[in-house]
Each structure stands twice: as C-alpha cells, then as structure tokens.
A and B are shown apart, each in its own frame.
Chain A
Amino acid sequence: MADFLVRFFSRLGAPFARSLVKLGFACRFFVALLRHSPTSFLRFNLTMREIWFAGVLSVLIIVVSGLFVGMVLALQGYETLVRFGASSSLGVLVALSLVRELGPVVGALLFASRAGSAITAEIGLMKATEQLAAMELMAVNPVARVVAPRFWGGVISMPLLAAMFSAMGILGGYLVGVPLLGLDEGSFWSQMQSAVDFRLDVMNGVIKSAFFGVAVSLIAVFEGYDAPPTAEGVSGATTRTVVTSALVILALDFVLTAFMFRGV
C-alpha cells in the first residue's frame, strides 16, 4: 500500500518537478545570457545581422496583418458606433485598440510564429549538427556568439514591429472609415489626436511590446538551446516556442494591462 502511494505521488509530481527543473535551467540560462551580452555587443554587427533576420524579414507579415486588422476593426467598430450616433469617434476606437492592445499583442504573436520559431529551429539544428559543440571546442562560447545576438536582435525588433503594426492598422482603419464608409476626414484624425494620450496610451503600448520582445526572444533561444539534438527534438522545441510564447504573451498582457490602466 505504502509502495503504491509512493509511486502514485511520484508520478503525480514528476511533470511538476520536470517543469521546475526546466524553469530553473531557463533562469540560469538567462543569467548566463546577460553575462555574455557585453562581449557580444562589442561586435554589434552580429546583432545587426539578427535584426535583419528576425526584424526586417518579418516586416511584410506585420504590415499586411496590421493593415487587415485595422480595416476589420473599422468595419466592425463602425457598425456598433453608428447605433449610438458616435461614428465620428471611429478613429479613436481604432487608434486606442491598436496602440494599447492589438499592436503589441498581435504583433508579438506574429513575431513568435515568424521569427521565434525560426530562431529555435536554427539554434536547435546547430546543436544537432554539433556546430555548437564545435564552437565550444574552438574556445568560442556559443552563448556569446550565437545566443546573445539572436536574443538582442529579437528584443530590439519587437517594439519596432509592434509600432509598425499599429501604424498600418490605423492606416487600414482610415482607408475603410473615410474613403469607404464616408466619414469626415477632419474629425477622424482630430478626434484621434485629442483622445490618444502619448504617455498613457502610446508609451504603455511600447513598454508592453518591449516585455513581449524579451519574453518571446528568451523562450525562442532557450528552447533551441535546450532542444534534444534529434529531428524530433527540434520539431518539438519549435512547437513549444510558439505555444509557450502565445500563452506567456497573453498572460503577461493581462498583468501589464492591470498595472498600467487600472493602477492596481
């Protein structure tokens, strides 16, 4: 009986213990990453290269998605606002939704699936083909040479991409609101201008996207570095990057929103 109980509880606790070990490893990995970051900053062209891969190459998907999200937002928002005779506030609705929430959140989700997964797969495959081990034996630390530039490339790209997403969304909202639905152009822009606060709305959006950038980039490099060096292992790690990033982004968004706009 006692034997049975011991087995029952150890099986119950095993997944929890495993996650805890992984979380601990991730924290130590983050510390090592920060410790080796100054060395990698000395050769900033390495980070520039990763900004190109993670950031610049994500611009297309961000721009197109932003445009469509803004256009849908305007269509849906107009339907509701017109019932209350407030259709001239469409610009405010579109702009606030985008800079506060959709720009950082949807931008980060897209970034995780476009760039995060690529980073995980690349680092995981470098590990599987012994490139990281080879680097280590050449007395070059892979955390400084491979991981840190990719992490910082993601951290720097994320707020810029979120800003681009919001800007394109507002443009999409304008295209639907003014030329298509026939709203007055002057009130569309001027109401937006007076209702959107730079510090409260825009800056908080930027802060959010900075948090998301750190979270997604850390998850992506960690999952790649931690991936079992097999085809299966790398594919599992890539999936985990996207899933974990999505959950962390949404949970973090709730916490940040509570602090920023409710002042909890």
Chain B
Amino acid sequence: MTPPLVEFQHVSFAYDEQPVLSDVSLTVARGQVVAIMGGSGSGKTTLLKLIGGQVRADAGRVCVDGEEVGTLSESQLYSMRRKLGMLFQFGALFTDLSVFDNVAFPLRERTDLPETMIRDLVLMKLQAVGLRGVVNLMPSELSGGMARRVALARAIALDPRVMLYDEPFTGLDPISLATTGKLIRELNDALGTASIVVTHDVAESLAIVDYIYFLSEGVIVAQGTPDEVRASSHPFVRQFINAEPDGPLPFHKPAPPYAQDLGLEVARG
C-alpha cells in the first residue's frame, strides 16, 4: 500500500475554549477521493485549514506528504503549500483580475515560466474544466457554477498532489452540480492526486467518492465506502443520508425548559 498523502493522527483543535475537533484520525491515499460529511458547524472547514496550515492543531499530528504541518516554519509552510490546491466554497476568484489572469496567477507568482508557456498552460487548464471560451471575461461576468470551475482550473494550475474542496456543491443548479462532481473525480484520476471533499451533499458524494467520514460536533462518528454507508444502520448516518430533521443530531439546540422561557412556570430553586 502506498503511504498516505494526508494523515490525521488523534488531532484535536479548539477556538479559544470552544472545542471544534477532538481526537480525529483519518488517512487519504494517492488516487483516493474522500468525503468529509457533517452538518454545518461540525468542524469540516477547520479540518481543511489544518491541512493548509492556516491553523495549528492543539494535539495530535497532521501530516501532508510525510511533512508534519504543525511543526513547519513559515517558509517551510509556504513551500509545503505548493503541493496543495484548494477550491473555496464560492471560488474566491480575484475580482480585479480576468479569468486568464486568475488562472495564470499561481503560475506567474510561483514559477519563472515565460509568458508564452503560461498562456498555453492557462488554456490547457481551462480546457480541462471546459471553459476555454470565457478566458477574456471578468469573474463578475460568470455564473456561480462557471466561477467555481474557473477556480478549479486555478487550483490545479501547479499540478498539486493534494486537492481540497470546501463545499464544492453548495448553491449550484443540478447540471453544474453533476459537472463539478464529474470534474472532481476525473481530475483526481488524471492527475493522480488525493482529494478531500468537505460537503453535505449526500447523493453527489456517494456517486463520486471512494470513502466517507461522518463528522458530528468534531468527532468522527462513522466511516466507510459508499456501499457500506448506504447499508449502514448507524443512526447518525441514517439521519444524514435520509435527511431526517430529528435524530442523534437534535432539531432543537439545548435550551432551558420552554415553559420557563415563556414565563409560564416559575423556575424552581
């Protein structure tokens, strides 16, 4: 078995006093697409920030391609990030640059390639996401789905070894959604990367990923291949994939008794 590209060993993390992740362990190998699923606020995005080194774990180890992210100096961190590509939730395209300049950005900033070669590379990356036709537009002229595909082209510009996707399916129409899912799978297989998809879109994820981790309140509560997940009787997994409003993840946030809050009953004690 090839060594994992991304590995979490018993990682815990808290913002101030608020625990976000506790004792999370997971591995992602080359060629794998792994989904991290969980409700809003379950710590999914923090997980990506730990991989990118934007925050550091309080306990445990986060390793990317054999390097422990938490111990790297600032310059080592910057060179480690060259191995990463990340697609942000809404693309995060630079609004003051055209589509061409956006995709060319990492190439111009991080390489000394001549401008003619950058042009060819940009067109190749845009061709891969099917958007060579919009090369001269500004990001504000693109639809949400197209902006995300351009951002994907930008993320793969330097041929990363690990691709991170933050909620890639949010707010997309069904066609764009299927296109994005297909692209994630195809790019992963073509580039030989490891991909981590943070999402709460069940149907699309089950169709494209190799392995799924379920995250709830910072803890991995279940994991498995798509077939295992479909067959699972785990209550959280059932609630999540059947979209039930109540279950292990309650509909109500913890609160004082309703009658007391409305002043109908005098609090005792």
Contacts and interface: CB of A to CB of B under 8 A. Distances in A.
Interface of A: 126, 129-131, 133-141, 145
B52 interface: yes
Nearest to A146: B94
B81 A139 contact: yes
A137 B52 contact: yes
25 contacts: A126-B94, A130-B88, A130-B90, A131-B92, A131-B93, A131-B94, A131-B95, A133-B54, A133-B88, A134-B92, A134-B151, A135-B94, A136-B54, A136-B81, A137-B54, A137-B84, A138-B106, A138-B109, A138-B110, A139-B79, A139-B82, A139-B106, A139-B109, A140-B106, A140-B109
Contacts of B54: 133, 136-137
A133 B94 CA distance: 11
Contacts of A138: 81, 105-106, 109-110, 154, 158
Given A130-B90, A131-B95, A145-B109, A137 B78 contact: no
Contact of B78 (A130, A133, A141): A141
Nearest to B97: A131
Contact of B88 (A134, A139, A145): A134
Interface in B62-95: 78-79, 81-82, 84, 86, 88-90, 92-95
A196 B43 CA distance: 66
Interface in B135-184: 151, 154, 158
B136 to A, nearest CB: 19
A49 to B, nearest CB: 9
Contacts of B84: 137
Contacts of B110: 138-140
Given A134-B88, A137-B86, A129 B95 contact: yes
Given A133-B54, A134-B86, 13 more contacts: A126-B94, A129-B90, A130-B90, A130-B92, A131-B95, A133-B88, A134-B88, A136-B52, A136-B81, A137-B52, A138-B105, A138-B110, A139-B106
A130 B54 CA distance: 13
B171 to A, nearest CB: 14
A160 B235 CA distance: 69
Nearest to B88: A130
B95 A139 contact: no
A138 B89 CA distance: 16
A32 to B, nearest CB: 10
A140 B158 CA distance: 13
Contacts of B109: 138-140, 145
A132 B225 CA distance: 35
Which 9 pairs between the two chains have the least Cβ-Cβ distance? A134-B92, A130-B92, A139-B81, A139-B78, A140-B109, A138-B106, A137-B86, A130-B88, A137-B52
A172 to B, nearest CB: 36
Contacts of A145: 109
A217 to B, nearest CB: 19
Contacts of B88: 130, 133-134
A243 to B, nearest CB: 27
Given A134-B86, A139-B81, A141-B78, A129 B92 contact: yes
Contacts of B89: 130
B159 to A, nearest CB: 13
A137 B53 CA distance: 9
Most chain B Cβ neighbours within 10 Å, of A126, A135, A139: A139
Nearest to A122: B96
Contacts of B78: 139, 141
